[in-house]
Amino acid sequence: MSRLYNVDIIKPNTIFQGFYMCGIMGYTGSLDAAPILLEGLKKLEYRGYDSAGIAVMDKNVISMSKVSGRIAHLCEKTNDGKLFSGHAGIGHTRWATHGAPTDTNAHPHMSNDGKFAVVHNGIIENYLTLRDELKEKGYRFDSQTDTEVVVHLVEMYFEGDFRKAVMKAASRLQGSYALGVLCSDEPDKIIAVREYSPLLIGVGIGDNYFASDVTALVQYTRNVIYLDDGEFAEITKDKITVYDCTGKEINKEINHISWDIQAAEKGGYEHFMLKEIMEQPGAVKATITPRMKDNEIVWDESGLDKLDLKNVNKIVITACGSAYYAGCVGKYVIEELCRIPVQVELASELRYSNPIIDEHTLLIVLSQSGETADTIAAMKECMKRGAKSLSVVNVVGSTIAKIADYTVYTWAGPEIAVATTKGYTTQVSILYLLALWMGKKAGTLDETLYQKLYDNVKMIPKAIQNALDLNPKIPQLAKKYHSSKAMFFIGRNTDYAVSLEGALKMKEISYLHAEAYAAGELKHGTIALIDDHQPVIALCCNSSLQEKTISNIVEVKARGAEVLAVTYKDNSNIISVADDVIYIPQIESILSPVVEIIPLQLLAYYVAKENGCDIDKPKNLAKSVTVE
């Protein structure tokens, strides 16, 4: 009889907290604000950023300094903050999403009349519509960011009441945001707002703060108030007043932080990898939501809408490592929904393969970092032969993004652990959107199926959240399997593609020999390796091929294997054949890869932990492979 590791049905109202890309901080008190802000921002550096800035209010004037690059440069430029006087200010570390990492795109952003300055963490999904509206009303935009709409909205709505103007502006925003706003009419006041992006207020004595991340605050105060979604705080040096979204004053509890700084950096998790695994619902949501509007897939910022699909007779996907395995999922999905032939090529092979590629080839390049040397070389080779290139990249302004004809960003935020998790799931999510978009455009996807899949794609963040609820059970499985010498991952079709990534996760962080095999290939050689107690991880989420995979499970069981199956909640057939079963929530089969990888990431993580491995920095590996 199998042991069951059950994931319940999707929780309808799950809110994805704790995912963020930039870092924000604010101070109001009796000391000079700039040095305090700079010290706070330094504590946010660990999360990755590409530019930084501060704005300080002195009497009724707001002054600003912003740089692309490191905080050290900002310190140099401002003489460690001494060039500014003023006791209230806001600061920001930016991980570029909308617009390259330039001085102008760095935050804070200032209103045209110089009265307001804003820092923002999150994504404003309706910024294009708002920008058009504001431009029409005569507001000047200096940056390419989504954030700049916020400060112009505040200016537009200001009629003498700072808080009311911020509340009105916030009511127009869709997406996720934690905001800090200064107004030169009220020189010691900051207004902070939260919606789906973390924000906490630091409570001092004669000094108060806000930040997106507790690490920026612990050197100043350990007493904090956590804002909830829809809440606003008016912060002065002596008083903090919190309001709900209707403007009603509310009482908030003060919490004491006891984490040390290292635990705080990891959001209380033991490793960045675990933190990043947990961030996946938010990362995928941030990646897909702005591209899904009124039952259409939209590619506003990339210009991809202009791609002439009629001219494409073949798609080549190229990448390395996990990104390549994301491409393997993409092949199944695109071929199924768009009926266009797709080749997935390892970039290191493609670059030297004299590829058959011409101007009718669409090249899809996947890369979290955007800087992988082999991927860049393969891309250049294919573009030389006439291919149109579309890159799917996480780092704005990276080399691959710059070279590509079109770039669609995965908004996963900085990934610090060497083993990619949210990088992979956000890449797969973009491939789903592409397949839906191309299938509809090419007419290969009928309206009913399109709608069904569209609705299911929207559910992916919740399904991932639900799959994460396996967390308490996976460590037990890791204890059972961690001392094995080898582990095999099997599956068919999309399950096979996921087993490739599952095996890579296992080997790269736990150093356990893990291999993925197409389940139907076992009999052609590999089954000779199956012996008593050999762990086999069987992926069984592709509904049309489940029976076939079950037969393979029976075959390896007959040779003594210990089988851990991953399948859907309603799949009772597996219980009688596998030794252990992990369930994932029900989702359309073709979309299951992005969900079934979650327990495999967790399994790899906990096996590595059992084996005492350096999880975030596995031996011999670098986060970004910038040499051949």
Q: Which residues bind ligand M6R (CB under 6 A)?
A: 320-323, 367-369, 372, 375, 418-420, 423, 508, 624-625
Q: Of 165 and 365, which has the nearer Cβ to ligand M6R? A: 365
- Decide the pairing of beta strands 200-203 and 223-226: antiparallel
Please report how close the Cβ of residue 319 comes to ligand M6R at its closest, in angstroms: 6
Choose between 1 and 627: whose C-beta lies nearer to ligand M6R: 627
CA dihedral for 554, 560, 565, 569, sign (positive or negative):
positive
Instruction: Output the smallest distance, CB 409 to ligand M6R, in A.
Output: 13
Instruction: Give least dist CB 372 to ligand M6R, A.
Output: 3
User: Is residue 623 among the annotated active site residues?
Assistant: yes
State the nearest-atom distance from the C-beta of 496 to ligand M6R, in Å.
18
Q: How far separated are the first and last CA of the chain, in Å rounded?
A: 49
Q: Which is nearer to ligand M6R, 381 or 579 (CB)?
A: 381
Nearer to ligand M6R, 223 or 624 (CB): 624
Q: Following DSSP, what letter does each residue of 501-540 receive, concatenated?
A: HHHHHHHHHH--EEEEEEGGGGGGTGGGG--TT-EEEEEE
Nearer to ligand M6R, 105 or 369 (CB): 369
215 contacts 46 by C-beta, under 8 angstroms: yes
Question: 213 or 501, CB closer to ligand M6R?
Answer: 501
Among 249, 248, 194, smallest CA distance to 226 is for 194
Amino acid at 1: M
Which of these, 606, 586, 576, 597, lies nearest to 4 by C-alpha position?
576
- Nearer Cβ to ligand M6R (121/407): 407
CA-to-CA dists, residue 452 to 21, 267, 344, angstroms? 31, 36, 27
Catalytic residue among 22, 328, 338, 541: 22
The CA distance from 69 to 41, in Å, is 13
Give the residue from 449, 410, 453 showing the smallest Cα distance to 428: 410
What contacts 353, CB < 8 A, 6 or more positions away?
Answer: 345
Q: Locate 193 and state its tokens.
A: 């707002």
User: Are 350 and 318 in contact, with CB atoms under 8 Å apart?
Assistant: yes
Tell me the closest approach of the beta carbon of residue 116 to ligand M6R, in angstroms: 38
Catalytic residue among 252, 480, 569, 623: 623
- Kindly state the smallest distance separating residue 316's Cβ from ligand M6R, in Å: 16
Element (DSSP H or E) covering residue 327: helix 321-338
**What does the block give as tokens for 607?**
């096996």
Sheet of 406-409, strands arranged across: 342-346, 314-319, 361-367, 388-393, 406-409
Cβ of residue 322: shortest distance to ligand M6R, in angstroms? 3
Q: Could you tell me how many residues make up the chain?
A: 628
Q: Which is nearer to ligand M6R, 410 or 592 (CB)?
A: 410
Q: Give the type of residue at 609.
A: K
- Give yes or no: 617 in active site: no
Rounded to whole angstroms, the maximal C-alpha distance in the chain is 80
In whole angstroms, how close is the CB of 424 to ligand M6R at the nearest point?
7
Which helix H or strand E contains 148, and what residues bound it? helix 148-157
Q: Which residue numbers are catalytic?
A: 22, 623
